[in-house]
Amino acid sequence: MSSLPPPQEPLAFVRIPKAKVWGGERLAERLGVRTADGPLGETWELSDYPGEETAIRGGAWDGRTLRELMDEHGAAVLGASRPSADGRFPLLVKFIDAGDDLSVQIHPPDGPKSPTGVGKTEAWYVLDGAPDASLICGLKPGTTREAFEAAAGGPGVREFLHELSVRRGDCVLVPAGQTHAIRRGTVLCEVQQTSDVTYRMYDWDRVGLDGKPRETHLEQALEVVDWSLPPAEPVRAEFVGGPGLQSEPLVACPYFELRALRAGEQGGEVRTEGRASVLSVVGGAGRIEPLPGSTFAPRDLRFGDVLLLPATLEGVTLRALGAAGLEVLQAVAL
C-alpha cells in the first residue's frame, strides 16, 4: 500500500465492541451498538494494542489502522509525546458499561511485573450512574498487608476496599498498583496506557459467558499492590457557562493528563501544542472545525465520537450546536 503524508486532520476510528459477562444496556442504546456474544461491556474507541488496532474512518487515511499510521509517521503523530515502552501509540480509550460489578482487580506497572513490559495506569470519567453509583479505588486507611492478603481472594476482601460515591462528571485516577473495581450501574469513559494486562483478585463467585468460573490471578495481583498509594477521591470540573470554550484540568500522571472541555455556540480553539491528544465527546452535540490555514472538512460531533488530534495538526475549533453545549474529555499524551 502506498505511503501517505502525515495526517493534517482529526482522525476518527471504527470502534471495537466487546461483550462482557458484566455488560449492560445503556451504552448499547446510546451508541446503537450490539454484540452477538452477550451484553455490551465496553467499546474500544482508539487502540494500538496488538491484535486490537482500530481502523481509521474517513479522510485520506480511511481504512488504514492506527498501527499502520504509527509505523509510517509515528514520530510526526506523537510530536513531543512519548510512545509506550513497546513503541505503540501510548493511549487507549474505551467506553465501559458496568451492568454488573467488575472484578476486584489490579494492573501492573511498567517493567518486569507486566508480561508485556507495559503497565496500565488509567483514569475514569463518569458518564452515567445509578442514584447509588460507586467505584472501588484503593484500600481503606489502616489496612495491613497481612490482613489484606489473607482476604483478597474471597468475599472478605470487601472489608478492606475503599468505596466512593460518584456522579456524572466525576473523574478518578487509577494508578498501576491500585486495587479497584467498577461497580454495577456505572457508565464511564476510560483513558489508559496501551495495555490489556489485568490481574483479578476476586470475581464475586460468578461464571463467565462460557458458563465456567472466570480465571483469577491472586498471586500475580498481590505481587503488584502498591502499598504507598492512598485511596482515591473523585475530582470534577465546575464550569460557569458562557458562549466560548472552557477548559478545566482533571487528573494527571506520567503518561497523560485529562482536561474537561465545555464549548458554547461561539466555541473556541483547542491547540495541540506539539503533542498528540484524544478528544472524546461525552455530552451534548457540536462541531469540529479547522483553524485558519488548515484545510480539513468540518464535521458534526455527538456523544461517543472519539478523535485523535495528531501533533502535526496545530489545533481545532470546537463549538456547540444548541444551547445545551458540547462536553469533551481531552486526553493529552505526555
Residue type at 323?
A
pLDDT digits (tens, 9 = 90+) for 155-207: 999 999 999 999 999 999 999 999 999 999 999 999 999 999 999 999 998 98
Straight-line distance from the first to the last Cα atom of the chain, in angstroms, rounded to the nearest whole number = 31
Q: What angle do CA 37, 38, 41 make, to 5 degrees?
A: 115
200 classed as catalytic: yes
Among 54-63, 148-157, 208-217, the range scoring the smallest mean pLDDT is 208-217
Q: Where are the domains of the chain?
A: 11-223, 245-333
Helix (H) or strand (E) holding 189: strand 186-193
pLDDT number for residue 232: 96
The one catalytic residue in 64, 183, 200, 275 is 200
CA atoms within 13 A on the CB side of 64: 20
Inform me whether the pLDDT recorded for 292 exceeds 80. yes
CATH (one of 2.60.120.10, 3.30.300.20, 3.60.140.10, 3.30.565.10) for 11-223: 2.60.120.10
Give the pLDDT band (50/70/90) at residue 2. Answer: low
SS (H, E, C) 56-114: EECCCCCCCEHHHHHHHHHHHHHECCCCCCCCCCCEEEEEEEECCCCCEEECCCCCCCC
Inform me whether the pLDDT recorded for 211 exceeds 90. no
Question: Cell triple for residue 261?
Answer: 472541555
- Tell me the CATH architecture of domain 245-333: Sandwich (2.60)
Kindly list the distances between the CA atom of residue 71 and the CA atoms of 48, 106, 169, 306, in Å, as whole numbers in the listed order. 11, 31, 36, 21
Length of the chain: 334
- What pTM was estimated for this model as a whole? 0.95
Do strands 268-271 and 315-320 pair parallel, antiparallel, or not at all (unpaired)?
A: antiparallel
Question: Cell triple for residue 68?
Answer: 499502520
Residue type at 284?
G
Same fold, 11-223 and 245-333: yes
